[in-house]
Amino acid sequence: MATPPKKRQVERRPTLETYEEFVANSGIMELAMRLRVLEAQRQALGLAPHDRELLRCPQCGLFEGADDEGVLFTSLKRHSRHDTGLRFEKLTDGRWFCPFCAAKVVEPAFEPPPGFWDT
């Protein structure tokens, strides 16, 4: 009995996705939307931000803090956790509006604690 001819193997090369296909298939858009929802929930719960340093107005001294449960507060008295109820309002490019004295406050640069970048 004759053996059947071998099938010719077709070499399959991986196809390159377009950027749009990659974005559509990666799930990154769903992740970004989930992060937006989580950020809105964080704000609604009044929790302190984790994407920036806490603010302090150099003009009047109003500062942000976080209590033991991570809830954001602002105070004018050093070492006080009495919340004024005031919140800094974001302007543009790392600048904020002080709700107490109307000064513009520059967001402090992130300063990692010692050993932050060590692995």
List contacts with Zn ion (CB under 5 A).
Answer: 57, 59-60, 62, 98, 100-101, 103
Please tell me the distance from the alpha carbon of residue 55 to that of residue 2, in angstroms, as a whole number: 84
Nearer to Zn ion (CB atom), residue 36 or residue 90: 90
Q: What is the nearest approach in angstroms of Zn ion to the Cβ of residue 100?
A: 5
- What DSSP string runs through 29-90? HHHHHHHHHHHHHHHHHTBPPSSSPPPB-TTT--EEEE-TT-BEEEESSTT---------EE
Q: What is the nearest approach in angstroms of Zn ion to the Cβ of residue 97?
A: 9
Q: What's the farthest any 2 CA atoms get from each other in the chain?
A: 97
Q: What is the nearest approach in angstroms of Zn ion to the Cβ of residue 103?
A: 4
Nearer to Zn ion (CB atom), residue 66 or residue 86: 86
Q: What is the nearest approach in angstroms of Zn ion to the Cβ of residue 80?
A: 16
Nearer to Zn ion (CB atom), residue 31 or residue 101: 101
Nearer to Zn ion (CB atom), residue 29 or residue 102: 102
